[in-house]
Amino acid sequence: MHLWILLLFIFIFKIEIFFAVRKKIPKPVKKGREYLSTIKIQISSYPKVERNSQCKSQKLFGELIRDPYCIFENPSSKETTDYIKNINNFSKFVLEKSLHYEDISRMVKKYSNYETFDKFEKHGSYYYFMYKNNSLNYGILKRRLGINGSDENFINPDKAFEIKNWKFSRDGSLMAYDLYNHYKSKTERKFINSKGHKLDDTLKNISTSDMAFIFENTGFIYSNYKETISPKNNPVLYYHKLGTDQSKDVVISDKSFLSISHFIEQVSSDGKYLFVGVYDGKDKSKSIYYCELSKHVITESLKFKLLIKNTNNYVYGVIDSYLNDVYVYTNEGSEHGKVIKVTINKSGSHIKTDIIKSEANRFIDKVVPVGSNYLAFTAFVELQHHVYFCEKTNGKIIKTFTPTIGFVKYLFGNSNSNEAYFTFENPIMPAVIYKVNISFSSNKPNLELEKIIKMKPENYSRKDFVVKIMRLTSKDRIKIPALIIHHKSTRNNGNNPTLLGTFTESRDSSLFSFSPSRYLFIKHFNGIVCYVNTRGSRFNGKEWFNKGIKENHNNRFEDFIHYVKSLINNNYTKPEKLAIYGSGTSGIVIANVTKQHPKLIGTSIIQGTLLDLLSLNTFDDYSNYLEEFGNPEDEEHSYLRYFSPLHNIKALKKYVQWPSTFVTGTIYPQYEITESSLKYLNELYHQLLKVKTNQTNPIIARFINIHDNQKGSKVEMHRNAINELIFISQTLDLKWKNI
């Protein structure tokens, strides 16, 4: 009996010890995803401003939108300037700790150090082009007599001036050009002849770029804004007789056009007709009107007749015209674009004929005449840009040029010459200018492609680079193309540094151009660069664009996320080695993907993006945002509310970190972008402080103060590219490779 009592006592004693010890053993700490950032910053360490509950709230469709950071709405206030200075200094301190700071700065500068040639054109006997080098803030307009002749300066403006636009007369004997004064922020239009003699004529306070010579170079027409004539501040057409003062210029706009926007499309090659584009109706669709220029003098407003009425927001643009035949680019009945011929009939029943027919996978984006019998056009087939030459009478393709995978940045041709020129490049290939000459053999056209100018940075070589187009099928079975670039030695080992961006900007997007920083990323970090053509981009027709904007914007996000997951699942990279990048409207994609999928992203770069989409109507010059995202003051508010980055920041789960993030912007001339970024940063800091998170991934920003009259503007923009690359190298823990 005593033995049983003793055994029971021992048993109870061991149980008590067991539970006592168990209480003392701490539970294992749940860990989040591994991060490789060499920068660790506690969320409480960042410069922040106090939230202000007295800030005015905005009421949209019954919802009160609070803005506790109204302090940033005045760019000149001491609070704003001090905060920008503090956040910039904080970021500078972080970036300068990089082990690769000197290497990256030195090599980006080296790869940026080369002469550039742009807008190569032939007028009369001369070949004209814009020339720039690293010592020039703005370009010089040069020319050469003969394709291989010596270069000479034609217009070399003072340091404060920049050549913005120009227009030659048909015979090349006269040129009008716009000089923008960066000190005064004003533009003057001047005139020069092919002998280099400047005319006395000067047109002041110019704010539009459309212009043309008429009446055998004795007259000149242009548009400009003048509130006293157009009550809604729409542009007005003027006639200027060369040799007279601007004060004597005659308003030639049709009186019915004064309340709506209208611009010069073209003067026919025989000087017979003037064509204008008129933006009318609620959707501002552009219709084409014409007027016969029968007299060699204009003393009053002109009477225009309708050529093409636009009732469905189609695109129309006059390419060329001779006698009564007008060649027009349009997407009417074809979202991928086509060329039609409209024959002017005095009865008004103009005859339309298809010349270049639409093809399902070929998106035409630029068309020019080449001589009197041919047209040249560029077109995207998925993400590959091609240059086509065809007969003007029937659209029959006679030759297609595709130098390599890349993009045509500039295409020039006119009806005076059988020569055409185009500039071709991609993110790791500097621009090459090509000439195409149409000659004849046995009465058949013979087209020859010739390299005219090849631009090459110091220590540059692309022989070991692979450029290809990848195609993935989305969840809803849509093929999404992407451009992918890497070194030929790259293997799918799941450990490659990768930079993923998206094509959602215009054709002039910098993503199409040679990028010294992207070239360095591949060459010295053995990285992969990938750009996705998500729905919502402008390079596959109107339907493709519409399927990724406004209420369909989630398609754009999903297409991008699909590539993120694919690059990871196919062992190109892993989350810890993946950086995503977006500028302008594509930065909205990056901000939303970062918020929705923080576990899949290592680093996010958001450059120059308006992050407050609910205030679009209070800002000027953001029509591209309104077109892509919608109007916050109508029914489109509902989905704008869903993906406006500033208004959708939420604290993450306890063990999930926000990816390393670098936000950049310019204080001038687009302070609204900086304002929204400052609010975004502070709201993000606020939300991350609300939870006891282990957030140490850096979230920094840099805002550059670019004034038009500052000599350092170019240097600042250059520094921005370097800083972004330094941040990526720090947060993805990249290893430098000397080559």
Residue 280 lies in a domain: yes
Which of residues 456, 473, 494 is at a domain's end?
A: 456
CATH code for the domain in which residue 286 is found: 2.130.10.120
130-187 tens-digit pLDDT: 999 887 778 999 999 999 999 999 999 988 899 999 999 999 999 999 999 988 889 9
Please tell me whether residue 596 adopts helix, strand or coil conformation. Answer: helix
| Prediction pTM value | 0.88
Question: In sequence order, which residues have a C-beta less than 8 Å from that of residue 568 and are 6 or more positions away?
Answer: 494, 574, 575, 578, 600
Of 284, 285, 501, 266, the closest CA to residue 276 belongs to: 266
Are 293 and 311 in contact by the 8 Å Cβ rule? The answer is no
DSSP class of residue 359 equals B
Same domain, residue pair 365 and 347 = no
Q: Which residue has the tokens 């099928």?
A: 473
Going by C-beta distance under 8 Å and a sequence separation of 6 or more, which residues neighbour residue 541? 331, 335, 336, 337, 363
Give the number of other CB atoms < 10 A from CB of residue 297: 10
Number of domains, the chain: 3
* pLDDT confidence tier of residue 227, bands split at 50, 70 and 90: low
pLDDT band per the 50, 70, 90 thresholds, residue 691: confident
pLDDT score at 535: 92
Query: What value does the mean pLDDT take over residues 451-456?
Result: 94
Q: What is the CATH number of the domain that holds 78?
A: 3.40.50.1820
Residue 350: both structure tokens together: 């103009």
The answer to whether residues 329 and 319 touch, using CB atoms and an 8 Å cutoff, is: yes
Q: Do the beta carbons of residue 121 and residue 141 sit within 8 Å?
A: no
- Give the distance from CA 116 to its chain's centroid: 20
Range of the domain at 393: 361-456
Over the chain, what is the mean pLDDT? 88
* Number of Cα atoms under 13 Å in the Cβ half of residue 183: 4
Pick the last residue of a domain from 343, 359, 375. Answer: 359
pLDDT over threshold 90, residue 31? no
- The yes-or-no verdict on residue 252 having pLDDT over 60 is yes
Q: What letter represents residue 381's amino acid? A: V
What is the Cα–Cα distance from 585 to 610, expressed in whole angstroms? 8
Which of these three, 359, 379, 400, is where a domain ends?
359
CB 337 within 8 A of CB 402: no
- Strands 140-145, 407-412: pairing is unpaired
Per-residue b/e over 241-280, b at no fewer than 16 CB within 10 Å?
Answer: bbeeeeeebbbbbbeebbebbbbbbbbbbebbbbbbbbbb
Distance CA 550, CA 644 (A): 11
**506 shares its domain with 612:** yes
Could you tell me if 368 and 354 lie in one domain?
A: no
Q: What is the residue type of 561?
A: I
Give me the sign of the Cα torsion angle 611, 616, 620, 621: positive
Mean pLDDT over 356-373 rounds to 94
The alpha carbon of 454 is separated from its chain's Cα centroid by a whole number of angstroms, namely 24
Indicate if 341 and 416 belong to the same structural domain: no
Which range, 194-198, 335-339, 439-443, has the best average confidence (pLDDT)? Answer: 194-198
Phi and psi at residue 675, to the nearest 5°? -55, -50
Give the Cα separation of 439 and 434 in Å (integer): 16
